[in-house]
Amino acid sequence: MTALVQAVRVDTDAEANVEIGAQLRRLYDEHYRSLVKLAAFYVDDVGSCEEVVQDAFVALLGRERRVTPGKEAAYLRSAVLNGARSALRKRRVRRQQRDQAVPFPASPEATAVAATERGEVLAVIRNLPAKQADVVVLRYWFDLSEAEIAQTLGMARGTVKSHSHRALKTLAERLEDHR
Residues that bind another protein (CB under 8 A): 20-21, 24, 28, 32-33, 36-37, 40-41, 46-47, 49-50, 54, 57-58, 61-62, 64-69, 71, 74-75, 78, 82, 85-86, 89, 104-105, 107, 110, 115, 117-119, 121-122, 125, 129-131, 136-137, 140-141, 147, 150-151, 154, 156-157, 168, 171-172, 175
Reduced to 3 states (helix: H, G, I; strand: E, B; else coil), residue 11 is helix
Whether the CB-CB separation of 135 and 149 falls below 8 Å is answered with yes
Give me the least distance between CB of 100 and another protein, in Å please.
Answer: 18
Give me the least distance between CB of 58 and another protein, in Å please.
Answer: 5
Distance CA 84, CA 64 (A): 24
Half-sphere exposure of 144 (CA within 13 A, CB side): 25
Q: Which is nearer to another protein, 8 or 172 (CB)?
A: 172
Residue type, 138: L
Q: Which is nearer to another protein, 91 or 130 (CB)?
A: 130
Q: Helices 46-62 & 72-101, crossing angle to 10 degrees?
A: 160
Q: Which is nearer to another protein, 1 or 113 (CB)?
A: 113
Cα torsion 160, 163, 167, 169 to 10°: value is: 110
Q: Which is nearer to another protein, 1 or 111 (CB)?
A: 111
